[in-house]
Amino acid sequence: AQTVTQSQPEMSVQEAETVTLSCTYDTSENNYYLFWYKQPPSRQMILVIRQEAYKQQNATENRFSVNFQKAAKSFSLKISDSQLGDTAMYFCAFMKARQSSGDKLTFGTGTRLAVRP
């Protein structure tokens, strides 16, 4: 079974600064996907970024980028130029690339990020 660990329950960052959220995972799979989801106070689950394990290049989406270290099973999220709207709970999630149970996501326990004005 896969597990996803987010060791930082809460983090805080000053507006306009950079923050990195940590995520590690455990799997015996070679092909899989990793995701970061954002959950603002509205509770909506919003996909921030995704990474395919077979791609060596780290994914980026505007101010969001990841540091994917496959051998270390690490998948951290870097948020640059933090904005007040980035205040949210962030979940790291894992999905096997090919599984009989469809698109099951395994989530970490989340990191609550507060952006200070």
Q: Which residues bind to another protein, rule: CB under 8 A?
A: 4, 31, 33, 42-45, 47, 50, 91, 93, 95, 97-105, 107-110
Taking alpha carbons only, the member of 89, 60, 96, 76 closest to residue 24 is 76
The whole-angstrom separation of Cα 75 and Cα 7 is: 12
DSSP state of 113: E
How far apart are the C-alpha atoms of 106 and 95, rounded to whole Å? 6
We find the least distance from the C-beta atom of residue 15 to another protein, in angstroms, to be: 27
- Residue among 1 and 71 whose Cβ is closer to another protein: 1
State which residue, 16 or 97, has the beta carbon closest to another protein: 97
Q: How far is the CB of 1 from another protein (least distance, A)?
A: 9
* Of 57 and 100, CB closest to another protein: 100
Residue 18 one-letter amino acid = T
Q: CB-hemisphere CA count at 13 Å for 92? A: 29
Query: Smallest distance, Å, CB 66 to another protein?
Result: 16
* Smallest separation, CB 20 to another protein (Å): 19
CB of 16 or CB of 47, closer to another protein: 47
Structure tokens at 67: 């540091």
